[in-house]
């Protein structure tokens, strides 16, 4: 039986083996293209492919598992094996990867006391429930069982996060318990503190970095002893976040030199070979001084583009890798791109009209996070009426994440994002009168009967003593639409990533009660009734239809649109936002149908045009 061992070097069947690997996240590329990408990896000269496994996709509910479509890890392993690639699997519950919540399932946060990635029993119980289903599926593909898996990872960049050795030991032991026999690794940032916190006995440490290879490997040597040196993530580019000013690119000349040094001194795993796409609501976020949600494209300035095209970086790396391993000069197939032109909107409906078709409301006296309603992703809408208040003079949303659009009688009043959600906001009387018909009527009455100024109305609006008759409040409806922009995937803030309105809505200094709450994961847009009312300037759905006779990868251009998410034939393509840098969404050809296709755009800002356009080139800034 074949074997893979860690000694002074890596050994495959007693022969020295230099790992030359590329990272390909199968869950960021449509399954129909897995073989294409892996063939290009093999042709580069790589002998190994590495991937994470995202827990949140595999186990979307506590008692629900998915191993189909984008989640078919066995099909991916079998495809890589067929092509002749060895495989490194990183199934760590936490993957980072600029992925929503670092791959952790959001249902963990229903436990208000949840502690992540430490020896907290409810977390460890959840991990074991996951692993006892997942790991036996992987174990049969290990090299010791006749398969191609040669290494697996215990935890990911743990030394950046914490230093609970009891937790790391338990993670290692759970993997062994469920049949993992191949050598294990950890990977950490190339610093002494990280290695001391993230290393564990019997597991080979490796490093994650994108520059200064010799210096980084010299640090790593302190922890590998006489063992091999490996960069488990050789960062060849970087990721983009909304509003960062332009697509980030790496320095090719410098990274090529680092690759040469890396192969001279040890082993490499190129991050990313192909980045792929954060389809749906799967983008992660970072948070240092402010929230920085990642864009839908995970191009990463990889060796292949988001849609799998070979780059100059690929050609430069291929020449370097060719000095160590055989490369292929075979002409690889090229994926076709296509532009389908401008398409006019055919139908539209307001979210406010469609709520009962795509959501089931929960009535509570108080607000709750989406996780408490067993919702993980998307939007959530909170609806109430003013009953003791005479208008909204001040408003604050307590413990609210990440972005909120506030409406009064279906007219936009205020949009708040990130730090703006931490403060109380005064609503100028002119602004409130512009959205509130009852307030405007009462203000006119007060001024007519009392000769009051607008300033006096602002100070005393609703005081029944200022006009004839009693006043019991406006009974105006108001809505708060909150968007989960992608949970933070790195650092201590991960434990605070409950979305929606977690504490309360405070109006004019007091907590407002009595709420209808509508979860909006937008996983059922086929239920939309476009015969219902469209209300201009409100969050709405827009339908576009177009015919396809020859399928090709295409790119959805949303010039003139504000912010939202797009669906092709019911599949969630991901978010768009006018602030960029990404300007077009990638639509892989396998998501298209022969004949009629349907695009649905959900837009929240009221910034729309009559057209969208499908182009044959990307534009990621």
CA dist., res. 27 & res. 295, Å (int) = 16
Which position among 155, 233, 306, 476 bears the catalytic label?
233
The DSSP bridge pattern shows strands 403-408 and 510-512 to be unpaired
Residue 322 token pair: 């060719």
Contact predicate 149/141, CB 8 Å: yes
Cα of 507 vs its chain's centroid, Å = 33
Distant-in-sequence contacts of 7-13, Cβ < 8 A, 24+ apart: 7/226, 7/227, 8/226, 8/227, 8/228, 9/228, 10/150, 10/228, 10/267, 12/86, 12/143, 12/150
Measured CA angle at 340 (ends 334, 346), to 5 deg: 145
For residue 233, indicate whether it is catalytic: yes
CA dist., res. 564 & res. 576, Å (int) = 5
Contact predicate 65/38, CB 8 Å: no
- Cα distances from 118 to residues 114, 123, 174, 198, 495, in angstroms, run 10, 8, 14, 12, 12
CA dist., res. 214 & res. 264, Å (int) = 10
Beta strands in 356-409 (DSSP E): 362-364, 379-385, 394-401, 403-408
Residue 549 token pair: 């006779």
CA dist., res. 458 & res. 516, Å (int) = 29
Query: Residue 441: in which H helix or E strand, if any?
Result: helix 437-450
In 3D space, the residue among 368, 276, 354 whose CA is nearest the CA of residue 522 turns out to be 354
Which position among 50, 100, 157, 393 bears the catalytic label?
157
Phi and psi at 566, nearest 5°, equal -125, 150
3-state secondary structure of 550: coil
Query: Residue 410: in which H helix or E strand, if any?
Result: none
Measured CA angle at 67 (ends 62, 69), to 5 deg: 125
- Cα distances from 348 to residues 366, 430, 542, 572, in angstroms, run 32, 31, 4, 18
10 Å CB burial of residue 398 (0-12, 13-18, 19+) is middle
Active site amino acids: 157, 233
């Amino acid at each position: 039986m074949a074997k893979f061992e860690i000694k002074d070097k890596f050994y495959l069947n007693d022969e020295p083996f230099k790992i030359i690997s590329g990272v390909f996240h199968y869950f960021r590329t449509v399954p129909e293209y897995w073989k294409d990408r892996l063939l290009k990896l093999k042709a580069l000269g790589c002998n190994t492919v590495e991937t994470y496994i995202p827990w949140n996709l595999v186990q979307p509910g506590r008692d629900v598992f998915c191993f189909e479509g984008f989640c078919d890890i066995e099909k991916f392993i079998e495809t890589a094996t067929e092509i002749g690639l060895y495989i490194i699997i990183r199934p760590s519950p936490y993957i980072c990867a600029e992925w929503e919540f670092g791959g952790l399932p959001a249902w963990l946060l229903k436990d208000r006391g949840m502690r992540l990635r430490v020896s907290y029993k409810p977390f460890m119980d959840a991990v074991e429930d996951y692993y006892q289903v997942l790991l036996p599926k992987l174990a049969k593909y290990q090299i010791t069982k006749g398969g191609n898996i040669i290494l697996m990872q215990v935890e990911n960049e743990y030394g950046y996060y914490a230093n609970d050795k009891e937790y790391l030991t338990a993670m290692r032991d759970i993997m062994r318990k469920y049949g993992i026999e191949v050598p294990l690794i950890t990977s950490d940032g190339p610093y002494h503190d990280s290695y001391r916190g993230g290393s564990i006995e019997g597991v080979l440490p490796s490093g994650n970095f994108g520059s200064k290879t010799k210096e980084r490997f010299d640090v790593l040597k302190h922890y590998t002893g006489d063992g091999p040196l490996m960069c488990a993530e050789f960062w060849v580019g970087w990721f983009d976040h909304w509003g960062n000013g332009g697509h980030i690119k790496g320095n090719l000349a410098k990274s090529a030199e680092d690759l040469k040094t890396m192969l001279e001194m040890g082993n490499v795993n190129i991050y990313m070979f192909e980045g792929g796409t954060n389809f749906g609501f799967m983008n992660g976020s970072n948070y240092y001084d402010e929230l920085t949600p990642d864009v839908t494209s995970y191009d990463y300035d990889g060796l292949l583009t988001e849609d799998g095209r070979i780059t100059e970086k690929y050609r430069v790396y291929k020449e370097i890798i060719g000095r160590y391993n055989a490369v292929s000069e075979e002409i690889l197939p090229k994926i076709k791109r296509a532009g389908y032109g401008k398409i006019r909107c055919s139908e539209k409906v307001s979210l406010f009209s469609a709520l009962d078709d795509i959501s089931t409301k929960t009535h509570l006296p108080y607000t709750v996070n989406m996780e408490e309603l067993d919702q993980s992703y998307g939007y959530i809408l909170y609806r109430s009426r003013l009953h003791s208040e005479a208008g909204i003079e001040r408003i604050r949303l307590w413990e609210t994440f990440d972005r909120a659009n506030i409406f009064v009688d279906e007219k936009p009043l205020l949009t708040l994002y990130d730090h703006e959600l931490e403060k109380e906001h005064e609503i100028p009387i002119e602004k409130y009168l512009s959205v509130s018909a009852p307030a405007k009527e009462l203000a006119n009455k007060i001024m007519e009967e009392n000769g009051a100024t607008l300033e006096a109305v602002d100070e005393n609006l609703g005081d029944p003593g200022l006009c004839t008759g009693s006043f019991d409040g406006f009974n105006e409806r108001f809505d708060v639409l909150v968007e989960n922009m992608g949970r933070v995937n790195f650092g201590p803030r991960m434990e605070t990533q409950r979305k929606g309105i977690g504490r309360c809505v405070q109006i004019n200094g007091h907590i407002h009660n009595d709420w209808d709450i509508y979860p909006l994961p937008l996983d059922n847009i086929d239920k939309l009734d476009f015969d219902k009312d469209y209300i201009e300037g409100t969050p709405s759905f827009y339908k576009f239809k177009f015919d396809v006779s020859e399928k090709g990868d295409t790119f959805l251009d949303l010039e003139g649109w504000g912010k939202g998410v797009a669906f092709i034939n019911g599949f969630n393509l991901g978010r768009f936002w006018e602030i960029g840098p990404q300007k077009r969404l990638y639509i892989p050809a396998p998501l298209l149908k022969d004949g009629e296709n349907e695009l649905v755009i959900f837009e929240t800002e009221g910034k729309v045009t009559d057209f969208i356009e499908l182009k044959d080139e990307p534009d990621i800034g």
